[in-house]
Structure 1
């Protein structure tokens, strides 16, 4: 095992890091170093050149490691972490029966703890940025911002702008006023980047859909909307508007580069063209499709058409390597097998969507997602001196298919060491988990959650009652 000096990585001041390999957008390159200073990548190039150019910087050798961009989670619900397993085995649109009541049962402490727990899981899985689609908890959204800051993760923070239940002029004005305040509130924040959110298109009036798109575009932010995720949502839109959800957004002027369409699994060729023509972005959430969806987003087709794509967990599991594998695997099963596409993105596609492409999709393309001078130093040190990756022939493919969370030695966000071998470096992760366990029991008990199916243990007992007392 290659030992790395943790204290040297945590030291203040410029860091000249010399791994075996640096993962660039063009591919892996060996024999290079990266200079990190002031939270940014200041320079990169051959080790000897950087050592000569920056003689005052002590070189930290990282044998057996790849330095790669941190993963970007393009779609998350941070305050839903207390109920993650409640979605297992459930049909689509569980938000009405599980997520809305669960978040409604959270107070300030439990919302903060749930969000920080989700951030901890994300950091452990190699995510340096998470995109929160807006909490339904009755708390100030700054509670979620505080949890992200305290955990040490970058967060694109959504403010829910739903107003369809009221729909009058006063509601519209209040929503826009709150949206403007939210976009200004985090101006200059090093880790929290504001965005707006609408749960689903029918949750907001047409004026609000149009005006939130305008406000976000003016602020250089994104509007997150769950779009064309489930058959029921598509059918509701057709009945109400005579248009599919994405078509409805286009009609009201809400499509554009500021839109981050979550899921987008059920798309017609026309809707794909609308996404491509307007510059909108998509969060492709393959694990969510497998666990509770009606379809898999045609992400390979989107990529070919030039549609901007990021990868999102939807709060399913915070593991960047497993997410990239799921992205490729789902495309292969849903589209590659029937067309004989044995490459199906060639590995690099899914790494790109999980890093730089994801950063672009969530509005941070000029800030993070890539190892390049001037970008935020959000990166991972991945141990490749392992049985899974030591015999490397094609590193991008191998990271997608054989990479594991337990191979992540260190996670850096804004140039600071935040996670070391899966544990936070400057706060007590174990204490957080213990407190989250206590608060989650209370919240779930009070939430009035309705599940369509019993737990797996109960389901087995119902299916095979004659085996209950049989010892094998």
Structure 2
């Protein structure tokens, strides 16, 4: 798309957009148009009808473009962006050895820059909403809110309410007063949506688990929590409570529509029933499962049982199309191959749960995630005239299997053009990356990070040295054997 179109898209007034196709809940619709006004979709319908009912607007035609909902990342840690590669190749529960030390080394500036850097990556990848599970950095949570707001991304912002464990405030009353202030602070904010967070079930007393659940239900927000993520966490819960983490939450009355359970990779059939029966929402994080997990959440079973779920990155990489491809691919490897399921939910399942389903899971179902009149105008313009997509006979499947962020021409949040061909439209993205590079070196150098494995380069060099040493030893053994055999023959 050319610069003339870009300038038209930057117009703050109402826009009548006519792309080649629009992705609606019922599927891909051609000859459709939308009107964007005051941050929302004013109208969505057949092009002739929309143009007839809005004669005062000049249609902006967008050939070769698909207008689709922006992706919703249902689980992220925005202030962990400085240390992404520190977690590569590491075993589970890296939060103890990597993330807690790293976030503890952040000051106000580095926390802001780290969060804005994560928001930039997410916007570049087509995410219009990110769900932050709460920072452990010793800064006010509003630092993260400012970073998301300045970047131009919608953010469900968690406040950690732990009252047990290292570094937690053990006064439950103080914790809950802070939670109430957090929920009240963003009542009228157009981009920041407050939520509460508890790291894991054992990080809060039963009273606080129940209180946060009640407070969230009253405020119509979510409580975010890592649940049944790793074998070690399940075993600790069994030893401490005689119950698995999800069972323990059920026992204290903390399950329900206002709980967003992240990961839930290790579930018994009974626990799946608990999720379905209570309306508890889940963040399915397929890339995180592959990189550091013990299992893949049974998302196709969630679909069949009616369990509410979104798809989250867990901060692994901010590319919405690669995330939905991983969501389908992980199900195929973990479940589909052994059962002969060649569809594994089909393309539409993963697009739906990465958009509307994700919005529902994070408490924004009535606000974003769909292209519909009255919904927030959070959307993407995707180039479908590329070699990967132009010849499609099934565009939802093609988007899941062959889409990537390079095909995203424009990202809109709340009706405003935020990204154009991978770059912010009203702030300096490259300058932020340069600043983040400098701050990250300082933060990582002073953080007491403990890794189980060396970096990939160090590991390779070690392997080369060991291989060379082995070759020398083998040659020595061969020469000795030859000499011995020769002397015997004489």
Q: Is the structural similarity TM-score above 0.5? A: yes
Q: Aligned pair 1:105/2:100, yes or no?
A: no
Provide the C-alpha distance between the structure 2 equivalents of 1:244 and 1:99, rounded to a whole number of angstroms: 24
Provide the C-alpha distance between the structure 1 equivalents of 2:27 and 2:433, rounded to a whole number of angstroms: 37
Check whether the contact 2:164–2:170 (CA below 8 A) recurs between aligned residues. Answer: no
Quote the residue 2:482 is aligned against.
none
Provide the C-alpha distance between the structure 2 equivalents of 1:258 and 1:120, rounded to a whole number of angstroms: 28
Normalised to the residue count of structure 1, the TM-score between the two structures is: 0.98
- Structure 1 runs (4+) deviating above 2 angstroms are 1-4, 165-170, 466-470
Quote the residue 2:183 is aligned against.
183
Q: Aligned pair 1:163/2:148, yes or no?
A: no
Provide the C-alpha distance between the structure 2 equivalents of 1:170 and 1:105, rounded to a whole number of angstroms: 22
Q: SS state of the match for residue 98, structure 1?
A: helix
Provide the C-alpha distance between the structure 1 equivalents of 2:208 and 2:169, rounded to a whole number of angstroms: 10
CA deviation profile, 1:161-193 (whole Å, cap 9, x unmatched) = 000138999711001101111111100110000
Quote the residue 1:374 is aligned against.
374
Check whether the contact 1:115–1:147 (CA below 8 A) recurs between aligned residues. Answer: yes
Check whether the contact 1:20–1:64 (CA below 8 A) recurs between aligned residues. Answer: yes
Provide the C-alpha distance between the structure 1 equivalents of 2:218 and 2:182, rounded to a whole number of angstroms: 14
1:462 Cα offset (Å)? 1.4
1:47 Cα offset (Å)? 1.2
1:152 Cα offset (Å)? 0.1
Quote the residue 2:192 is aligned against.
192
Aligned length: 470
Quote the residue 1:287 is aligned against.
287
Check whether the contact 1:4–1:62 (CA below 8 A) recurs between aligned residues. Answer: no
Quote the residue 2:221 is aligned against.
221
Q: SS state of the match for residue 97, structure 1?
A: helix
1:464 Cα offset (Å)? 2.0
1:446 Cα offset (Å)? 0.3
Provide the C-alpha distance between the structure 1 equivalents of 2:206 and 2:168, rounded to a whole number of angstroms: 12
Provide the C-alpha distance between the structure 1 equivalents of 2:466 and 2:200, rounded to a whole number of angstroms: 45
* Aligned-residue RMSD, C-alpha: 1.6
CA deviation profile, 1:425-462 (whole Å, cap 9, x unmatched) = 00000000000000000000000100000000111111
Q: Aligned pair 1:274/2:285, yes or no?
A: no
Normalised to the residue count of structure 2, the TM-score between the two structures is: 0.94
Check whether the contact 2:163–2:170 (CA below 8 A) recurs between aligned residues. Answer: no
1:4 Cα offset (Å)? 6.3
Check whether the contact 2:183–2:194 (CA below 8 A) recurs between aligned residues. Answer: yes
After superposition, the Cα gap between the structure-2 partners of 1:250 and 1:431, relative to the gap in structure 1 and judged at 3 Å, is same
Which aligned pairs between 1:253-264 and structure 2 lie closer than 5 A? Answer: 253-264=253-264
Check whether the contact 2:162–2:169 (CA below 8 A) recurs between aligned residues. Answer: no
1:62 Cα offset (Å)? 0.4
Answer with 1 or 2: which has the greater Rg.
2
Provide the C-alpha distance between the structure 2 equivalents of 1:427 and 1:168, rounded to a whole number of angstroms: 37
Unaligned runs of 5+ in 1: none
Quote the residue 1:207 is aligned against.
207
After superposition, the Cα gap between the structure-2 partners of 1:443 and 1:3, relative to the gap in structure 1 and judged at 3 Å, is closer
My pick for the range that moved more, 223-232 or 458-467, is: 458-467
Q: SS state of the match for residue 446, structure 2?
A: helix
Q: SS state of the match for residue 313, structure 1?
A: coil
Provide the C-alpha distance between the structure 1 equivalents of 2:356 and 2:227, rounded to a whole number of angstroms: 23
Which aligned pairs between 1:48-67 and structure 2 lie closer than 5 A? Answer: 48-67=48-67
1:467 Cα offset (Å)? 6.5
Check whether the contact 1:167–1:205 (CA below 8 A) recurs between aligned residues. Answer: no
My pick for the range that moved more, 165-174 or 282-291, is: 165-174
Which aligned pairs between 1:56-135 and structure 2 lie closer than 5 A? Answer: 56-135=56-135
Provide the C-alpha distance between the structure 1 equivalents of 2:63 and 2:375, rounded to a whole number of angstroms: 24
